[in-house]
Amino acid sequence: MIRNVLELGHPKLREIAQEVAQDEFGSTEILQLIEDLIDTMRARHGAGIAATQIGIAKRVFVIEVNDNPRYPYKPKIPLTVLVNPQLRILGDETVSVIEGCLSVPDLRGRVERFAQVELTAMTPEGQPLTLRARGLSAGTLQHELDHLDGLLFTDRLESSEHLYSKANYELFFAADFQRQAEAINKAYPEPIEITKHVWPSRPNNVS
Ligand code: ZN
């Protein structure tokens, strides 16, 4: 079901989401939540959407990038559901990107994101999952994870001058950013690596 997306100013966007408990995995409630997130993300052409954006304070987000009219420069990401994601930053390299958000309508903003990250998470069925992301895809993951901590991209602007109306973005910044985004894509040719682990997984060096 397509859900109403909460917008900037709504207090529920500021809630810190709670971890999904062990006995909630595979439950009708969680599976319904995930289905609604996917339907809503696709209907609104989001690159991702977090549960907090539809008013559910649980640590769940979904991402998917195909040919996205909102973000034509974003590398493809297959539909992926992340439950209880944990971030590891790989190196201190950053990229400067212009972001948009379904919860911040008609605005775009320039923010700094870590260029290489690893997220470990669970699938809705409770299987472990690792995502390594670089460049723009790394930014997308950090943006969604921020939602689970009650943060929006507008909280990460260096100054208010880095916030643009959609009209001004299109007029003055979109062409430049398209070129910058292409350079980032070139610098990080492997934007996403997703590893689903078979349960139980155990490193070889553990006995
Ligand atoms: Zn967002």
The average pLDDT across 119-140 equals 96
Region 161-170: what's the mean pLDDT? 96
What residues flank ion ligand 1 with Cβ within 5 A? 101
- Under 8 Å between Cβ of 126 and 70: no
Which residue bears the tokens 């350079």? 183
Locate the domains of the chain by residue range: 11-194
Q: Quote the pLDDT of residue 196.
A: 86
Report the interhelical angle of 135-148 vs 174-187 (nearest 10°). 110
* Annotated active-site residue in 7, 64, 144, 161: 144
Which DSSP category does 126 fall into?
S
**Does the annotation count 144 as an active-site position?**
yes
| C-alpha 70 – ligand 1 centre gap (Å) | 12
Given 3.40.640.10, 3.50.50.60, 3.40.50.620, 3.90.45.10, which CATH number is that of 11-194? Answer: 3.90.45.10
CA 160 – ligand 1 centroid, Å: 18
pTM of the predicted protein model: 0.93
β-pairing, 116-122 vs 128-134, is: antiparallel
3 state DSSP class of 58: strand
Q: Is 146 left (phi over 0), alpha (psi -120 to 50) or beta?
A: alpha
The per-residue pLDDT for range 7-20, each reduced to its tens digit, is: 999 999 999 999 99
Q: For residues 138 and 194, is the Cβ–Cβ distance under 8 A?
A: no
79 Cα–ligand 1 center, Å: 16
CB 47 within 8 A of CB 63: yes
List the alpha helices (DSSP H) in 5-99: 28-44
Q: Which pLDDT tens digit goes with each residue over 79-90?
A: 999 999 999 999
Q: How far apart are CA 88 and CA 86, in angstroms?
A: 7
- The 10s digit of each residue's pLDDT in 191-206 is 999 998 765 555 555 5
